[in-house]
Chains A and B, each alone.
Chain A
Amino acid sequence: MAPVSTRLRRIAAVVAVATLFVSAHVGRFGTATAAPYGSAAAEDLPRRIISLVPATTEMLFAMGAGDRIAGISNYDRFPPETARLPKVGGLLDPDVERLLSLKPDLVIVYDTQTDLKRQLERAQVPMFPYAHRGLADITETMRALGVRVGAKSAADAAAARVEQQLAAISRRVAGRPRPKTLLVFGRELGALRRVTASGGYGFLHDVLELAGGADVLGDLRKQSVDMSAEMILARAPEVIIELHYGDAVKPENFDAERRVWDALPSVPAVRNKRVYLLDGSEFVVPGPRIVLAADRFARTLHPEVWGR
């Protein structure tokens, strides 16, 4: 008798894992196809989620599933609750042993982490693969993730809120002249060297355009473009926004870093003193705080609209 019931249990376990796999893989293709799996019974809900992606960690908190997170990546800083959660590595160096020791029942991985995905597959741990794309994918991922973790209505509400707030910002700057903007991701500190800037796609490009700016490199189908001094001069941006985060530039050095651009006085942004340094982690995490990023872009690009 005992062997039979063991075998039955094994079959049941395999079926359960297989179901989770199917839904995990369906999740990759978007909300519509994933929806039927959202109605999973309450006892099947993932309760020990590991998120290796800062954006999905923030999404889980936004949909009220933060208390079910068992582990996060080394790069998670927001919300403050993440400070007490175990860290299990990142995109390039996931700590598989530590990850498995936390006994997760769902791991959110980058779709490009093929080695990790193979290992988790072997260990029969369900996954939610995350792909990093444009602005529209943020709320789409939120909804798909909500379905996957059984928080559909909260996730839908949070996603709708993000979309409404973005639409409100977009409406507020509608009809205003759109300054040609260079959005700088990084450069050598203290020098105009190795400048990389946003090209014509990616979520930051989308946010910039939504916030009423015209990406001065919008015609280049590249997410990030290496800019030479000649290219900056030739493109003549009217506004330059530099993104910083963490403590890369200390506040007392902001002015000095802004003055680095004075080497190119013919650039309209430099001549008209429209070079801005923005500091904040909301610019590097394509999660719900993208609203904050869009708001800061819009206020920087169109100060007259906000009355300052």
Chain B
Amino acid sequence: MAGFGTLAAAAVLLAPLVGSTRIHLGTAFDRSIPYADNIDAQIFFVARLPRVLAAALVGSALAMSGVVFQALLRNPLASPDTLGVSAGAALGAMMAITFNLDFSLLGISAVPLASFAGSLGALAIVYGLSTARRRGTSALVLLLGGVTVQALLSAVIAFVQYLADFTQTFRNVRWLMGSLDVASYSPILAGLVPMAVAWAGFATLPRMLDLISVGSESAAARGVNIERTERIALVSASLATGAAVSLAGPVSFVGIIVPHLVRLFVGADHRLVLPASALFGGAFLIGCDLVARTIIAPLELPVGIVTAIIGGPVFLWLLFRRA
């Protein structure tokens, strides 16, 4: 755990120092130069720092949501995308782009706002499905319901895409590749609000998730309020996912693989897996974004490509080395 903490701290501190441009830290922090004229300071404080913070936030949120969804649905293949929350967020963003929505609220522009609203809409549907469940219904029903919602929303996304013109289609595709280049702090601050709610929810979960992943009957026998726990898990993981996707677009791979990677090191105890995933997810995404913005400098790769290309082989190696 200390190792994961050190890794995350090192990533947050070191990543802003590296980039496609050379900057001098002395100049960046020199207060005698007016900020408006200080390019190094602007590269550090406008371009890099928000980006690293966004990566930390998004990476940890997706990784923790992955852990919770995998436990809740008792399925190792579950991820933040499984129940349609990401698709809802994507639909919101596609609609904002395709219908040229141009408004802002507290410094947040239309696309992330619409995206978060979309994720809430998807959450409402899935939550409705979960409450409609009768007592004793298996997690499989929620899983199937969520996957169906996800497929349905994907079809609506395709329809909205169909309505878009060339430039909008281009922007839609780019949004779907994900980007952490937020270029200001206001989207991060806004994202912190739903994330804080999600963290509060996550904090209550580890012990009960351990019991649930063994089986709901035995968990109930040990006095766990299954329905309440499942709802807290569902809502907090969905809120974290919605906030992450509306901030950065869909970033593949982090939410499904980081939890497994972490389990290879710390075992299955959720009291360790959940915080370790948060730390490692953040560090992993910061690292991937660092590669994305420097490897073909001055051009940049979409970060979602890097997460899969780096994460895939690393995970396979770990998996088969241990097996």
Question: Which residues of A are in contact with B by a Cβ distance under 8 Å?
Answer: 75, 91, 93, 185-186, 188-194, 196, 220, 222, 225-226, 228-231, 233-234, 236, 245-250, 253, 257, 263-266, 271, 284
Q: Which of B39, B103, B170, B300 touches A190 (beta carbons < 8 Å)?
A: B103
B170 touches A266 (CB 8 A): no
A-B residue pairs, 5 tightest by C-beta: A190-B109, A230-B47, A229-B47, A191-B109, A229-B183
Closest to A249 in B: B102
Which residues of chain A have C-beta atoms less than 8 A from B148's C-beta?
none
A185 touches B167 (CB 8 A): yes
Which residues of chain A have C-beta atoms less than 8 A from B167's C-beta?
185-186, 245, 248, 284
A228 touches B47 (CB 8 A): yes
30 A-B pairs, CB-CB below 8 angstroms?
Answer: A93-B162, A188-B109, A188-B111, A189-B102, A190-B103, A190-B104, A190-B110, A191-B111, A191-B112, A193-B109, A193-B181, A194-B174, A194-B175, A220-B298, A225-B299, A228-B20, A228-B51, A228-B183, A230-B48, A233-B42, A234-B21, A234-B39, A245-B167, A253-B102, A263-B183, A264-B42, A265-B35, A265-B36, A266-B37, A266-B38
Which residues of chain A have C-beta atoms less than 8 A from B162's C-beta?
93
Interface residue? B229 (CB, 8 A): no
Which residues of chain A have C-beta atoms less than 8 A from B293's C-beta?
228, 230
Which residues of chain A have C-beta atoms less than 8 A from B171's C-beta?
186, 188, 194
- Of residues 158 through 192 on chain B, the ones whose CB sits less than 8 Å from some CB of chain A are 162, 165-167, 170-171, 174-175, 179, 181-184, 187
Q: State the Cβ distance, A168 to closest chain B Cβ, in Å.
A: 30
Which residues of chain B have C-beta atoms less than 8 A from A190's C-beta?
102-104, 109-110
Closest to A194 in B: B174
Query: Contacts A189-B101, A193-B182 hold; do A226 and B299 have CB atoms under 8 A apart?
Result: yes
Measured between alpha carbons, how far is A263 from B51 in the docked complex, in Å?
15
Q: State the Cβ distance, A170 to closest chain B Cβ, in Å.
A: 28
Query: Contacts A188-B109, A220-B298 hold; do A266 and B181 have CB atoms under 8 A apart?
Result: no
Closest to B179 in A: A194
Which residues of chain A have C-beta atoms less than 8 A from B37's C-beta?
266
Which residues of chain B have C-beta atoms less than 8 A from A249's C-beta?
100, 102
Interface residue? B46 (CB, 8 A): yes
B46 touches A264 (CB 8 A): yes
A229 touches B46 (CB 8 A): yes
> Interface digits, B259-288 against A, CB 8 Å rule (1 contact, 0 not)?
000000000000000000000000000000
B170 touches A226 (CB 8 A): no
A222 touches B166 (CB 8 A): no
Closest to A234 in B: B21
Which residues of chain B have C-beta atoms less than 8 A from A192's C-beta?
183-184
Which residues of chain B have C-beta atoms less than 8 A from A257's C-beta?
102
Interface residue? B308 (CB, 8 A): no
A229 touches B181 (CB 8 A): yes
Closest to B21 in A: A234
Measured between alpha carbons, how far is A236 from B40 in the docked complex, in Å?
12
Interface residue? B19 (CB, 8 A): yes
Instruction: Using A189-B110, A229-B46, A234-B21 as known contacts, list a sample of 16 further A-B pairs with CB atoms less than 8 Å apart, ordered by residue number in A.
Output: A186-B167, A190-B104, A191-B111, A191-B184, A194-B171, A194-B174, A226-B174, A226-B302, A228-B20, A228-B300, A230-B181, A250-B102, A263-B46, A265-B42, A266-B36, A266-B38
Which residues of chain B have C-beta atoms less than 8 A from A263's C-beta?
46, 183-184
Interface residue? B43 (CB, 8 A): yes
Which residues of chain A have C-beta atoms less than 8 A from B35's C-beta?
265
Closest to A253 in B: B102
Which residues of chain B have C-beta atoms less than 8 A from A245's C-beta?
167
B109 touches A233 (CB 8 A): no
A233 touches B47 (CB 8 A): yes
Q: State the Cβ distance, B31 to closest chain A Cβ, in Å.
A: 15
> Interface digits, B298-310 against A, CB 8 Å rule (1 contact, 0 not)?
1110100000000
A230 touches B19 (CB 8 A): yes
A236 touches B39 (CB 8 A): yes
Closest to A189 in B: B102
Measured between alpha carbons, how far is A230 from B299 in the docked complex, in Å?
11
Q: State the Cβ distance, B36 to closest chain A Cβ, in Å.
A: 4
Which residues of chain B have C-beta atoms less than 8 A from A191's C-beta?
109, 111-112, 183-184, 187
Measured between alpha carbons, how far is A188 from B112 in the docked complex, in Å?
10
> Interface digits, B24-37 against A, CB 8 Å rule (1 contact, 0 not)?
00000000000111
Measured between alpha carbons, how far is A222 from B111 in the docked complex, in Å?
27
Q: State the Cβ distance, A72 to closest chain B Cβ, in Å.
A: 15
Which residues of chain A have C-beta atoms less than 8 A from B174's C-beta?
194, 196, 226
Which residues of chain B have C-beta atoms less than 8 A from A185's C-beta?
167
A75 touches B165 (CB 8 A): yes
Q: State the Cβ distance, A55 to closest chain B Cβ, in Å.
A: 13
Q: State the Cβ distance, A229 to closest chain B Cβ, in Å.
A: 4
Which residues of chain A have C-beta atoms less than 8 A from B181's C-beta?
193-194, 228-230
Closest to A90 in B: B166
Measured between alpha carbons, how far is A226 from B170 in the docked complex, in Å?
12
Closest to A91 in B: B166
Query: Contacts A186-B167, A190-B103 hold; do A230 and B43 have CB atoms under 8 A apart?
Result: yes
